[in-house]
Amino acid sequence: MVILLAAIVLVFFVLFNAGFFGGKDERIRITCVGDSLTYGSGVLKTRELDSYPAQLQSKLGTSHVVSNFGLRNATAATSGDLPYIDSEEYKKSLESNPDIVILMLGTNDTKTYNWNAADYKEGLKTLVESYQQLESKPTVYLMRSPYCYAKNGGEIAEYEVQPSIVSGQLGEIIDTVASETGVEVIDLYTPTVGKEDLYTDGIHFKAEGYKIIANEVYNVVK
């Protein structure tokens, strides 16, 4: 009986905070923007539980609403093979009325046939500013893309991703864009470097790898 009563109280609290009883929805809305590392590739069968946005939602609880607008293969650069800014996910993310935007794009930009440093910087900055200009005036965070590696020991990882650019120039550009737009960077490279056992293919994570990302974001937004 006590457990049932507690469950009823919890449901009432969640519905009240969500505005179901005529009040204002008081929950903090977090919009997660990115590529397959946001979408949850590597844990596709359990992404509703194990992607980093899902794990972040679990850690934050009912006071927050975490939405996943990840798009596999997406690039920040408009010259890339799948520009995020042209996608339906981008449109929906703009309409999500966010209080916080977590933006992580860059790994796909480093593919051998995509990489253009100037285009990446321009595209990333345009995306940041488009969220800053929303009526909800969200706080925007840029995430530095995680460590990646070639499982065969070569210089090029799966999907033609270039680990040397991820470890170097990509991070430098993210820091520059963050400085120019006045946003904070959440570093995902440092806490993931060398943790090969958490990867499925050298690029995407197992659930424990996505837990690292969720924890890093949680420590900033909690």
What are the angstrom distances between the C-alpha of 157 and each of 131, 149, 195? 31, 6, 15
State the CATH class of domain 28-221. Answer: alpha beta
CA gap 154, 31 in Å, rounded = 35
Whose tokens are 């530095």? That residue is 144
Q: How confident is the model at residue 102, as a pLDDT? A: 98
Return the amino acid letter for 204.
Answer: H
Burial-class residue 170 by CB neighbours within 10 Å (0-12, 13-18, 19+).
buried
Residue 187 β-bridge partners: 144
Per-residue pLDDT tens over the stretch 105-114: 999 999 999 9
CA gap 191, 208 in Å, rounded = 12
Per-residue pLDDT tens over the stretch 49-58: 999 999 999 9
Per-residue pLDDT tens over the stretch 23-38: 579 999 999 999 999 9
Alpha helices, H only, the chain: 2-17, 36-39, 47-50, 52-60, 88-94, 117-132, 163-167, 169-181, 189-192, 207-221
Residue 206 β-bridge partners: none
Return the amino acid letter for 52.
Answer: Y
Per-residue pLDDT tens over the stretch 166-215: 999 999 999 999 999 999 999 999 999 999 999 999 999 999 999 999 99
Per-residue pLDDT tens over the stretch 112-165: 999 999 999 999 999 999 999 999 999 999 999 999 999 999 999 999 999 999
pLDDT > 90? residue 62? yes
Coil vs helix vs strand at 32: strand
Return the ∠ at Cα 208 (arms to 69 and 33), rounded to 5°. 15
Sheet holding 100-104, edge to edge: 64-70, 28-34, 100-104, 139-144, 184-187
Q: How confident is the model at residue 107, as a pLDDT? A: 98
Q: Is the separation of the CB atoms in 128 and 183 below 8 Å? A: yes
Residues 6+ apart with CB under 8 A from 184: 141, 142, 178, 220
Q: How confident is the model at residue 37, as a pLDDT? A: 98
Domain ranges of the chain: 28-221
Structure-token pair, residue 173:
């550009």
Cβ–Cβ contacts within 10 Å for residue 49, how many?
14
